[in-house]
């Protein structure tokens, strides 16, 4: 499990890969459509897609002459379970924290 968690978190560490996952939340996409909004080569996007595929976060399949990417949300299950272990700590109320800081800094 640790190796797969390491792979998933390493894949999620990159903002381009997180953006790709967010795009794939909507629907399956052709690789060329995935690459379109990014200012990088198709080869660079393909490397990002390979990392996401190896982490199990997406799958790729060829339909005709077009390669399609599909989100695999179950791959995040182990990571989510691991992160929920930290849920025992109360969430920070940012509004209250901001008010506290404003009061403290004013004094």
pTM for the model: 0.76
**What is the average per-residue pLDDT within 68-94?**
79
Among 5-14, 22-31, 43-52, 83-92, the least confident range: 83-92
The residue ranking higher by pLDDT, 59 or 80, is: 59
Q: What's the longest Cα–Cα distance across the chain?
A: 68
Alpha carbon distance 14, 53 (integer Å): 14
pLDDT at 2 over 70: no
Q: What is the pLDDT of residue 85?
A: 78
Q: Of all residues in the chain, what percent carry a pLDDT higher than 70?
A: 89
**Beta carbons within 8 Å of 24's beta carbon, 6+ residues apart:** 34, 58, 69, 70, 71
Mean of the per-residue pLDDT values for the chain?
87
Q: At what angle do helices 15-24 and 42-54 cross, to 10 degrees?
A: 80
């Amino acid at each position: 499990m640790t190796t797969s968690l390491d792979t998933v978190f390493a894949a999620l560490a990159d903002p381009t890969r997180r953006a790709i996952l967010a795009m794939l939340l909507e629907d399956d996409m052709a690789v060329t459509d995935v690459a379109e909004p990014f200012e990088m080569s198709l080869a660079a996007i393909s490397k990002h897609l390979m990392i996401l595929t190896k982490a199990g976060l997406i799958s790729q399949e060829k339909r005709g002459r077009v390669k399609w990417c599909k989100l695999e949300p179950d791959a995040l299950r182990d990571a989510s379970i691991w992160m929920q272990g930290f849920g025992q700590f109360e969430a920070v109320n940012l509004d209250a924290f901001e008010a506290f800081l404003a009061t403290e800094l004013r004094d």
